[in-house]
Amino acid sequence: MTSPTCREPERLDVHGLLLATGMPDLPLARALLAEQLRVDMVSEEVVAAFATVPRHCFAPAGRWRSAYLDLSIQAGPGWLIRPRTIARVLDAVPRGPDLRLLEFGTGNGYQTALLATVAAHVLTVDVSVHSLEWARPRLQALGLRNVDLALTDDGWRGIPDRNFGCVVITRPVGRLPETVTRTLSAAEAVVIAPVRGGDGSHRLVRYSFRRGRLGNAVDLGGCAYPDAQQA
The helix-helix angle for 44-52 and 26-39 (nearest 10°) equals 160
The pLDDT value recorded for residue 226 is: 72
Residue 157 has pLDDT above 60, yes or no: yes
pLDDT band at 62 (very low <50, low <70, confident <90, very high): confident
Q: Is 218 helix (H, G, I), strand (E, B) or coil?
A: strand
pLDDT band at 180 (very low <50, low <70, confident <90, very high): confident
Instruction: Give the DSSP H or E segment for 16.
Output: helix 14-20
Q: Which residues pair with 73 in a beta bridge?
A: 80
Is 231:171 a contact under the CB 8 Å cutoff? yes
Map out the domains of the chain as residue ranges. Answer: 14-78, 84-230
Q: What is the average pLDDT across 78-96? A: 92
Is 64:23 a contact under the CB 8 Å cutoff? yes
Is 216:208 a contact under the CB 8 Å cutoff? yes
Residue 208 has pLDDT above 90, yes or no: yes
**Rounded Cα gap, residues 40 and 110, in angstroms:** 20
Q: What is the average pLDDT across 211-221? A: 89
CATH of 84-230, one of 3.30.70.260, 3.40.50.150, 3.40.640.10, 1.10.10.10: 3.40.50.150
Q: pTM for the whole thing? A: 0.85
Residue type, 144: L
Q: Which residues pair with 169 in a beta bridge?
A: 104
The pLDDT value recorded for residue 93 is: 97
Question: Parallel, antiparallel, or unpaired for β 188-196 and 202-210?
Answer: antiparallel
Instruction: Give the DSSP H or E segment for 115.
Output: helix 110-115
CA-based radius of gyration for the chain = 18
**Rounded Cα gap, residues 133 and 182, in angstroms:** 27
Is 186:163 a contact under the CB 8 Å cutoff? yes
DSSP 199: T
Burial class (CB in 10 A: 0-12, 13-18, 19+), 68: buried
Residue 99: CA count within 13 A, CB half-sphere: 20
**Rounded Cα gap, residues 137 and 4, in angstroms:** 54
The pLDDT value recorded for residue 212 is: 79
